Structure 1
């Protein structure tokens, strides 16, 4: 019979925190994270900051460039770089 591992090290807790941010953590991982957060002040602070970051990004309403626009910018940049080096 294998041992059930409930306590996790800080590195694992931070990784699960990151996975939770992107909704990729399993229920069991979340349970272990919450148990870890009960006794680890540093990871509680990490989780708090991660939550703030997630909220700020969602609230920011950032619009990304499409692939065609990015490619055009890249070509313009390379052209300007060549002209400048000549």
Structure 2
């Protein structure tokens, strides 16, 4: 990461700030620099959007799993089908 004090940062720095922002670790100035960079860099906007989507999916996965009874019934059906095809 560069040590420049300007408000324009490289894509590498912007991605780093984006990752820090995702975990609520970015400073105010890192957020400012990231947002300025996102104004003119389509690739980093895309990276940031994917990062946001990933964070939302991890926080609320909405995964529905089957109960143990259904799982065992499915295993038995699979075993039967496999034995029928041998």
* TM superposition score normalised by structure 2: 0.66
Matched, 1:24 2:25: yes
- Counterpart CA distance in 2 for 1:5 and 1:50 is 25
RMSD: 1.7
User: Following superposition, which runs of at least 4 residues in structure 1 exceed 6 angstroms of deviation?
Assistant: none
- For the pair shown, the structure with the greater C-alpha radius of gyration is 2
Matched, 1:51 2:49: no
Residue 11 of structure 2 corresponds to 10
* TM superposition score normalised by structure 1: 0.66
The gaps in structure 1 that reach 5 residues or longer are: 63-86
- Counterpart CA distance in 2 for 1:12 and 1:4 is 12
Quick check: which one's helix share is greater?
Answer: 1
Residue 42 of structure 2 corresponds to 41
1:59 Cα offset (Å): 0.3
SS at match of 1:36: helix
1:60 Cα offset (Å): 1.9
SS at match of 2:60: helix
Residue 74 of structure 1 corresponds to none
The gaps in structure 2 that reach 5 residues or longer are: 64-86
